[in-house]
Amino acid sequence: MKNFQTISEVRQCVDIWRSRGERIAFVATMGNLHEGHLTLVREAKRCADKVIVSIFVNPTQFGVNEDFSNYPRTETQDCLKLADEGCDAVFLPSVETLYDSEAKTSIQVAEISDYFCGESRRGHFSGVATVVCKLLNIVTPHCALFGLKDFQQFLVIQTLARDLNLPVEILGIPTVREVDGLAMSSRNGYLTPQERDVAPQIYKILQMARNQIINTSTSFTQIQEQSIAILTECGFVVDYFSVVRRDDLMLASRNDNNLIILVAARLGKTRLIDNLWIDK
Ligand code: PAF
């Protein structure tokens, strides 16, 4: 597996692959790779000839009181895992490589960045959109794969690629879960053993809410309130639990199809997010 630190090394390698007519898939990560990330790499291998993964803990998507400095950095183990998966190249830029101190440009994807995680993490999606746009411009892949656990992030990236005419196919890959249902996330490592036992309740309550939506005529407002009450009882501090339309994240009514339930909640110091699709 090739290991690149600079933009020019990536561009040279990608030029060679492209000159041979090879299809390139890209997976952007912040490292601390788990089965969720490795599933993205496996899917990437299925849809392309070459797979390149970036590992970059992006400072611009963290708020001032968030976990940027504590975010787990496990690059040596990550590279071994990627090599085992047959990944072709890994890009490990430094902050200085990706962000010129004179940089004046950032990307804002309006509306869908403003709600839910965008409301509680001001500036987060601009940081994500900017770094993903830069990485896509450096790697110039044919397709890029993102996990659907971060559904709002996925919509932001899909919208930015469409609006800026980026010649890349953005693919969403279903959430990978632990056996007890907890969505895989690097932040699960912050949970204490007691919190880890409680954390799968998020997925159980999402499933309960989905059953109520499908099998009863209970209003969405009532389902949301009940779900928040149960999560609170379990020890979560709920940021949001909302039934929305999948295409624009607007609050849904019973007339809408293509729904998703979005949830974010803190358990102790750990902020967990998850979601569940509903096709009516
Ligand atoms: O989902 C992530 O790990 C990050 O937000 C991403 C897409 C790699 C951008 O830094």
Average pLDDT on 234-253 reads: 97
Are 67 and 18 within one domain? Answer: yes
Spacing, Cα 37 to ligand 1 middle (Å): 11
Report the atom number in ligand 1 closest to the C-alpha of 150.
Answer: 1
Q: What is the DSSP letter of 254?
A: T
Give me the CATH number covering residue 57: 3.40.50.620
Among 131, 134, 151, 173, residue to substitute to test ligand 1 (most atoms within 8 Å of Cβ): 131
CA–centroid distance, residue 233 to ligand 1 (Å): 31
Q: Residue type at 123?
A: G
pTM of the full structure: 0.98
pLDDT of 279 reads 87
Which of 109, 137, 148, 153 for mutating ligand 1's site (highest number of atoms within 8 Å of CB)? 153
Q: What is the position in ligand 1's atom list of the atom closest to the CA of 147?
A: 1
Q: Are strands 24-29 and 143-147 parallel, antiparallel or unpaired?
A: parallel
- pLDDT for 275 equals 98
Cα(230)–Cα(202) distance, rounded to whole angstroms?
10
What's the rounded Cα separation, in Å, for the pair 280 and 175? 20
Query: For residue range 192-212, what is the model confidence (pLDDT) as tens digits?
Result: 999 999 999 999 999 999 999
Asked if residue 219 belongs to a domain, the reply is: yes
Angle between helices 7-19 and 124-139 (to 10 degrees): 50
Give which of 262, 263, 260, 264 is closest to 278, Cα–Cα: 260
pLDDT digits (tens, 9 = 90+) for 111-124: 999 999 999 999 99
Asked if residue 160 belongs to a domain, the reply is yes
Mean pLDDT of the 99-109 span? 97
Confidence label for 280 from pLDDT (cuts 50, 70 and 90): confident
The string of DSSP codes covering 217-247 is ---HHHHHHHHHHHHHHHT-EEEEEEEEETT
What pLDDT, on a 0 to 100 scale, did the predictor assign at position 43?
Answer: 98
For ligand 1, what atom is nearest to the CA of residue 54? 8
Model confidence at 175: pLDDT above 90? yes
Instruction: Judge whether 221 lies within some domain.
Output: yes
Q: What is the number of structural domains in the chain?
A: 2
Of all protein residues, whose CA lies closest to atom 2 belonging to ligand 1?
29
Mean pLDDT of the chain: 98
Question: What is the domain range of residue 72?
Answer: 2-173
159 and 65 co-located in one domain: yes
Same domain, 151 and 26: yes
Looking at residue 180, its pLDDT comes to: 98
Determine the pLDDT at residue 197. Answer: 98
Ligand 1 residue neighbourhood (C-beta within 6 Å):
28-30, 58, 61, 128, 131-132, 150, 153
Predicted local confidence at residue 246, as pLDDT: 97
Ligand 1 atom closest to 57 (CA)? 10
Residues 245 and 137 in one domain: no
Atom of ligand 1 nearest to the CA of 29: 8
From the list 34, 37, 124, 142, the catalytic residue is: 37
Ligand 1 centroid distance, CA of 58 (Å): 8
Q: How far is the CA of 17 from the centre of ligand 1 (A)?
A: 25
Whether residue 14 is found in the same domain as residue 121? yes
Question: How far does the centroid of ligand 1 lie from the alpha carbon of residue 225, in Å?
Answer: 30
Residues 56 and 169 in one domain: yes
- Centre of ligand 1 from the C-alpha of residue 154, in Å: 10
Q: Are residues 225 and 127 in the same domain?
A: no
37 is catalytic: yes
CATH code: domain of residue 200:
3.30.1300.10
Q: Give the helix, strand, coil percentages of the chain, each rounded to 5.
A: 40, 20, 40
Q: Please check the confidence at residue 253 and state whether its pLDDT lies above 90.
A: yes
Q: 17-63, pLDDT tens digit by residue?
A: 999 999 999 999 999 999 999 999 999 999 999 999 999 999 999 99
